[in-house]
Amino acid sequence: MLRALVLALALFAPALAQPAITAGDLAEIRAVISRQIEAFRRDDAESAFALVSPAVQQTYGTPARFLDVMRTSYHPVYRPAAVAFLEPVMFGSDAVQPVQLTDRAGSVWLAYFAMQRQKDGSWRAAGCHLVQRALTIPT
C-alpha cells in the first residue's frame, strides 16, 4: 500500500508542480476555441486548421480534410446552436477545456478540448473528445 502511494506521488508530482493556469491563459484558450467554432460556421477550413496543434495538422494533412471530419463526426462542434465554457482542468503544462454545446435539435453535448501550449507560448487545440450529455431524471 505504501509503495503504491509513493509511486502515485512520484507520477503526479511533476503535474502538481506546474503553475496554475493564468487568467490570460484561460482567455486565450477560450478565444482559440471560439475562433475555431466561428471558422467552422463560415466553412473556413484554413482558419480552423490554423488553430490546431502541429500534430493534429499532420494527422489530417489538409484543411479541407480536417473540415470534412469536423462536419461529419463532430457536428455539434461544427454547427452549435449554443456554446458555454466550463471550468478547465490542467494536466502539467496542458489544459482540457470542457465546453457545453447545444446542437440545433436541442441535444446537449460536452466537448473536451485538449489545449496545448506551443513553443511560442500560444495555445492550440490538440484534440477534442465529444460526449452527448445524458439526461437526468429527477427521483
High-pLDDT (> 90) share of the chain, %? 76
Q: What is the pLDDT of residue 19?
A: 56
The domain spanning residue 31 has which CATH number?
3.10.450.50
Please give the full DSSP string across 67-115, using - where no structure is assigned. HHHHHHH-HHHHS-SEEEE---EEETTEEEEEEEEE-TTS-EEEEEEEE
List, in order, residues 6 or more apart from 3 with CB less than 8 Å away. none
**2 within a domain of the structure (yes/no):** no
Note the pLDDT tens digit of each residue in 57-92.
Answer: 999 999 999 999 999 999 999 999 999 999 999 887
How many domains, in total, are found in the chain? 1
pLDDT digits (tens, 9 = 90+) for 93-111: 789 999 999 999 999 999 9
**Which cell numbers hold the place of 2?**
505504501
The span from the CA of 41 to the CA of 95, in Å, is: 24
pLDDT digits (tens, 9 = 90+) for 21-63: 789 999 999 999 999 999 999 999 999 999 999 999 999 999 9
Number of Cα atoms under 13 Å in the Cβ half of residue 100: 9
